[in-house]
């Protein structure tokens, strides 16, 4: 085993300074140290039955002190408390003199309100559920990280109807004319980059990225890559090829790869795609080198599940293999993504006709859209690093009993879009931390070299012929695990302080100027709404331009059980304000409706 390792261990604590109130939470294991709390107008008085503590806390204003989980039955959660204070100096004094009483003090995480496109699920659009997006954690990705970037092009190497209601203004054809037929390519492209938050159709993972299409199969892949398209989806393939045909496709993939393209392909639909060779057959180009091969996994309970032994619901969700004959499994598969009972444009039907379908053709573009978001966060990671990140962040499923017969044939696990995009983001931060944890790495090459600040490796088992090439600017730590690659594998970890962290944003493609103009016009016409504040004491207000406000006919507020608690349909002077004082504390959903009764905006709020 080759091991080059330089470690720089360090510890630092930074406490930020802000105005108004500061919220911290911590554990008090000793119940005798929990204070009595007396409310005094806008602050509380604490009695610890300890003169030293009482004297310390009396020097500061304590706005609140309460149990974090008052109804919890979990022992540790029962010891958790939180308080709001006026000055962080109190925390410094506690850390210096009373850290044995107040354990694990840290900033209390803010509650994040998930970004909800107004055409996602029953929120709007066609009002069909898209559980596959929840399954890959798309809402968390959109809310906390990115919804994409129109300067990131997602290539679809087949014919696409760019006039489709969810692609218009956000798609183009590399050369030639657009299809007017909603065929396979149109359905595929909606998974990667359907326009979202447009009150129309469906949502997609990479919904602010740009779709660039070109028909022509393998030749189209080369042309898309030559034009500078960064990510190319191939939801097609063949089996039973001659070695010459395999070699031809490999040369094409090599050329596209050398042009900088990330190549993603459907792994095949098992015996349905290749009845003579069965579910383990190689499909090309998915089985070619330099291609990320995507197989399919279920994301919800299927009533037609033919295997009565699947009593475990999670096993049902994540089963692969010949339990579902439309799944390909072989040692060239890289990752799995949802592709059973997923929503898209119905092939061959008029625009706006949506239905559920399945196959690796639909799983692959979900990965393609995710890669688009990764590049928006970090445009400088290369193809090897993108594949590495997808594999290191995927959710393992080969240990499930239903999948154990296919060990080594279903890739690294199931796509986790949030974790993948977040790792790409950590790679790009000035002081980011890339965490590699809980992995069994027994094959493949793993590369993380484009200037991460630090990498931490926890509870990994590295064996077989796995190769790890990791570099960092400041620190690499192996915290736990077994790292003994064999059979040609090795680990190379290097600290290089000269690594440059200077990644520019993705440039707008020059060939798309006319389309960017079209997008600008569309954006000027786009109706958008904002509900403020999101943390409500008494009133909320709907903010929009004059045209948008006039389009609102009704506003309704629902609790988390879907029960309507407020409704208003008469507004004065084109201003919309709602009194929320009668509501209890909690999370609510505010929905705006147009004159047709259609949902045009949804937003979560918190009532204090």
pLDDT of residue 532: 79
Residue, of 326 and 117, whose pLDDT is higher: 117
Question: How do residues 293-328 score in pLDDT, each as one tens digit?
Answer: 999 886 654 333 344 444 443 333 444 443 455 678
Lowest mean pLDDT among 126-140, 334-348, 418-432, 564-578: 564-578
pLDDT at 157: 96
pLDDT of residue 518: 38
Query: What is the rounded distance in angstroms from the CA atom of residue 504 to the CA atom of residue 214?
Result: 27
525, burial (CB in 10 Å: exposed 0-12, middle 13-18, buried 19+): exposed
| pLDDT band at 179; cut points 50, 70, 90 | confident
Q: Where are the alpha helices (DSSP H) in 153-217?
A: 184-193
- Mean pLDDT, rounded, of the chain: 83
Predicted local confidence at residue 109, as pLDDT: 66
Rounded average pLDDT over 342-348: 93
Reduced to 3 states (helix: H, G, I; strand: E, B; else coil), residue 488 is: coil
418 pLDDT above the threshold of 80: yes
Question: Is the predicted pLDDT of residue 20 greater than 70, yes or no?
Answer: no
Secondary structure of 331-371 as H, E, C letters: CCCCEEEECEEEEEECCCCCCCCEEEEECHHHHHHHHHHHH
pLDDT of residue 333: 95
User: So what's the pLDDT on residue 111?
Assistant: 53
Tokens of 309: 């032994």
CA distance 195 to 200: 8
Q: What is the 3-state secondary structure (H, E, C) of 64-105?
A: EEEECCCCCCCHHHHCEEEEEECCCHHHHHHHHHCCCCCEEE
Distance CA 504, CA 340 (A): 38
Task: Kindly list the distances between the CA atom of residue 379 and the CA atoms of 172, 502, 504, 505, in Å, as whole numbers in the listed order.
Answer: 22, 10, 7, 6
Parse the chain into domains and list their residue ranges: 22-107, 121-430, 526-607
Q: What is the 3-state secondary structure (H, E, C) of 243-263?
A: HHHHHHHHHHHHHHHHCCCEE
Query: What per-residue confidence (pLDDT) applies to 355?
Result: 92
Eight-class DSSP state of 555? E
pLDDT, tens only, 487-524: 889 999 999 988 887 777 888 876 554 343 333 333 33
pLDDT surpassing 90 at residue 36: yes
Over residues 127-169, the pLDDT tens digits come to: 888 989 988 999 989 987 899 999 999 999 999 999 999 999 9
Report d(CA 193, CA 171) in Å as an integer.
Answer: 9
Q: Residue 117 has what pLDDT?
A: 83
| Chain segment 471-485, per-residue pLDDT in tens | 999 999 999 999 999
Do the domains 121-430 and 526-607 sit in the same CATH topology, yes or no? Answer: no
> Which whole number is the average pLDDT over 534-549?
74
The CATH superfamily assigned to 526-607 is Macroglobulin (MG2) domain (2.60.40.1930)
Mean pLDDT of 262-288: 88
Stronger pLDDT, 579 or 209, i.e. the higher one = 209
pLDDT at 545: 60
pLDDT > 70 in the chain, percent: 86
**CATH classification (class only), 121-430:** alpha beta
Does residue 402 surpass a pLDDT of 80? no
The pLDDT score that the predictor gives to residue 463 is 94
pLDDT value for 519: 39
pTM over 0.75: no
């Amino acid at each position: 085993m080759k091991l080059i390792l330089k470690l720089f261990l360090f510890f630092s604590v930074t406490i930020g300074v802000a105005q108004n109130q500061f919220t911290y939470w911590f554990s008090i294991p000793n119940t005798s140290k929990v204070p009595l709390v007396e409310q005094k107008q806008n602050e509380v008085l604490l009695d610890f039955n300890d003169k030293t503590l009482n004297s310390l806390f009396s020097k500061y204003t304590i706005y609140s002190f309460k149990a974090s989980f008052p109804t919890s039955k979990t022992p540790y959660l029962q010891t958790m408390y939180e308080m709001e204070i006026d000055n962080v100096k109190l925390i410094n004094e506690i850390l210096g003199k009373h850290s044995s009483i107040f354990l694990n003090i840290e900033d209390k995480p803010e509650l994040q309100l998930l970004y909800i496109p107004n055409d996602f699920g029953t929120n709007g659009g066609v009002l069909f559920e898209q559980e596959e997006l929840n399954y890959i954690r798309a809402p968390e990705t959109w809310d906390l990280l990115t919804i994409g970037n129109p300067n990131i092009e997602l290539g679809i190497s087949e014919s696409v109807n760019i006039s489709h209601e969810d692609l218009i203004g956000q798609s183009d054809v590399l050369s030639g004319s657009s299809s007017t037929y909603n065929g396979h390519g149109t359905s595929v492209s909606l998974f990667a980059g359907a326009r979202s938050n447009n009150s129309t159709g469906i949502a997609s993972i990479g919904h602010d990225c740009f779709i660039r299409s070109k028909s022509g199969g393998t030749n189209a892949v080369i042309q898309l890559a030559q034009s500078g398209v960064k990510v190319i989806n191939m939801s097609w393939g063949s089996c039973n090829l001659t070695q010459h045909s395999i070699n031809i496709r490999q040369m094409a993939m090599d050329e596209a790869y050398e042009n900088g393209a990330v190549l993603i392909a459907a792994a095949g639909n098992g015996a349905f795609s290749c009845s003579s060779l069965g579910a383990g057959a190689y499909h090309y180009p998915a089985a070619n080198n330099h291609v990320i091969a995507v197989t399919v996994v279920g994301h919800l309970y299927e009533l037609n599940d033919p295997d009565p032994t699947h009593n475990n619901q999670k096993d049902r969700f994540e089963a692969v293999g010949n339990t579902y004959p439309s799944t390909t499994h072989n040692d060239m598969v890289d990752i799995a993504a949802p592709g059973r009972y997923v929503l898209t444009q119905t092939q061959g039907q008029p625009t706006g006709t949506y239905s559920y379908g399945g196959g690796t053709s639909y799983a692959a573009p979900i990965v393609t859209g995710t890669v688009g978001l990764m590049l928006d966060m970090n445009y400088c990671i290369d193809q090897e690093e993108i594949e590495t990140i997808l594999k290191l962040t995927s959710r393992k499923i080969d240990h499930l009993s239903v999948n154990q017969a296919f060990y080594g044939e279903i890739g690294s696990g199931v796509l986790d879009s949030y974790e993948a995009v977040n790792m790409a983001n950590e790679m790009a931060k000035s002081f980011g931390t890339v965490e590699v944890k809980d992995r069994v790495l027994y094959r493949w090459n793993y590369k993380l070299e484009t200037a991460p600040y630090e990498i931490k490796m926890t509870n990994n088992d590295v064996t077989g012929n796995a190769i790890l090439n990791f570099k960092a600017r400041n620190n690499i730590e192996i915290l736990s695990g077994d790292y003994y690659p064999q059979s040609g594998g090795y680990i190379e970890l290097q600290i290089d302080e000269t690594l440059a962290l200077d990644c520019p944003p993705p440039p707008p493609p020059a060939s798309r100027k006319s389309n960017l103009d079209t997008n600008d016009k569309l954006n000027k016409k786009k109706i958008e709404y904002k509900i403020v504040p999101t943390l409500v004491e008494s009133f909320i207000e709907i903010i929009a331009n004059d045209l948008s406000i006039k389009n609102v006919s009704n506003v309704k507020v629902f609790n988390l059980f879907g029960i309507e608690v407020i409704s208003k349909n008469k507004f004065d002077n084109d201003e919309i304000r709602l009194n929320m004082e009668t509501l209890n504390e909690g999370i609510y959903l505010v929905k705006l409706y147009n004159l047709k009764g259609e949902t045009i905006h949804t937003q979560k709020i918190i009532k204090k």
